[in-house]
Amino acid sequence: MAKWGCLWVVLFYLCYLLLGAVIVSLIERPYESSLRNQLRSLKFGLLNDTPCLAVSDLEDFLVRVLEAHRHGVSVLTNSSHTNWDFASAFFFVSTLVTTVGYGHTTPISDGGKGFSIFFAALGVPFTMLLLAVVVQRLMIYLTDRPIQAVQERLGYSKRRVTQVHCLLMFLFTLIGFFLIPAAIFSAIEKDWTYLDAFYFCFISLSTIGLGDYVPGGQDNQTLQPLYKISVTFYLLCGLTVMLLLIQTSQKAIGLHFLTQIFNLPLADDDEEEDEELALNSTGAHPSLQLNGLKADPRPLAHPEPPSYNSISPSSDQ
């Protein structure tokens, strides 16, 4: 039964992916066609206005422009900031080790690519370990102890208190790391709407990092280095809170139905298995433990067989 349940879950997941592909294709394809037609009209208009410009030269120029843009270099006359000052480099390495990876700025040289590989190979595991340690410590002070205190004071069940606590944490995360930061980003970034800013927050804190919206890319922004460093700390704190919310949600909701579908052992089953192993190691029978009796771990002594060579006193009489 568990095997069929696992198969149904896998099929449901594949159908979910197929449905998502169909929907996003239906939504985005018309906009892509419209944008392509606009670019084609601009290209032909430019060629008509400048007869001396060859089509091959324009194509080569556009290829170079797109390649430079792929590395984060703009050819616009009003764009003069560098992508590798300290604040930008700090933002780049933070997105590298947190696996967000916007892709808006990439190394051009072979030395930069090799260093990125080495830096990420060490930084990604260390970042995951650091976040796990911080989340475990925060779970004690922000989840376990508050739940225990409310449970002991009000007398509610632990599961109910955990669910309410998870809901409060979800609201705090939504307001403190999505709604309010989205309002701040939409106010600082002039080309961003509130939906664009909220989209950036979700894509960043879920470590998807598509790179279509990256803060601090506009020229003439006041305190741009400080702004990029602040965004870096926002990402680190947001990832920590997201992991904390996930851990709390696992305790509140529970995944027993998934473990049953995939035929995975539960935590209670592991404890029972450990107790059974302990009983077997001491030589005790489980029924004795159930009856509240403590078994003697020493082996039973076998009685010596009676000797028939001696004559009993009754036979003399």
Task: Look at residue 217 in the predicted model and tell me its pLDDT.
Answer: 72
Task: Look at residue 311 in the predicted model and tell me its pLDDT.
Answer: 44
pLDDT tier for residue 290 given thresholds of 50, 70 and 90: very low
Task: Look at residue 303 in the predicted model and tell me its pLDDT.
Answer: 53
For residue 298, pLDDT over 70 is answered with no
For residue 60, pLDDT over 70 is answered with yes
pTM (whole model) above 0.75: no
Domain boundaries, the chain: 85-265
CATH tag for 85-265 (out of 3.40.50.1820, 1.10.3470.10, 3.10.450.50, 1.10.287.70)? 1.10.287.70
Helix axis angle for 224-253 and 110-139, nearest 10°, is 50
DSSP sequence for 253-273: H--HHHHHHTTPPPHHHHHHH
Question: Taking Cα atoms as reference points, which of 270, 266, 269, 268 lies closest to residue 257?
Answer: 266
Most confident of the ranges 18-22, 66-70, 271-275: 18-22
pLDDT tier for residue 130 given thresholds of 50, 70 and 90: very high
Q: Are 218 and 191 in contact (CB under 8 A)?
A: yes
| H helix intervals, 206-223 | none
For residue 182, pLDDT over 70 is answered with yes
Q: Does residue 283 or residue 28 have the better pLDDT?
A: 28
Q: Are 238 and 131 in contact (CB under 8 A)?
A: no
Task: Look at residue 190 in the predicted model and tell me its pLDDT.
Answer: 85
pLDDT tier for residue 279 given thresholds of 50, 70 and 90: low
pLDDT tier for residue 17 given thresholds of 50, 70 and 90: very high
Tracing tokens 């102890």 back to the chain, one arrives at 145
User: How far is it, in rounded angstroms, from Cα 270 to Cα 272?
Assistant: 5
Mean pLDDT of 146-171: 87
Task: Look at residue 313 in the predicted model and tell me its pLDDT.
Answer: 45
pLDDT tier for residue 287 given thresholds of 50, 70 and 90: very low
- % of the chain exceeding 70 in pLDDT: 75
Q: Which of 29-43, 58-72, 116-130 has the lowest mean pLDDT?
A: 58-72
pLDDT tier for residue 204 given thresholds of 50, 70 and 90: very high
Task: Look at residue 127 in the predicted model and tell me its pLDDT.
Answer: 93
For residue 272, pLDDT over 60 is answered with no
pLDDT tier for residue 310 given thresholds of 50, 70 and 90: very low
HSE-CB of 241 using CA atoms within 13 angstroms: 20
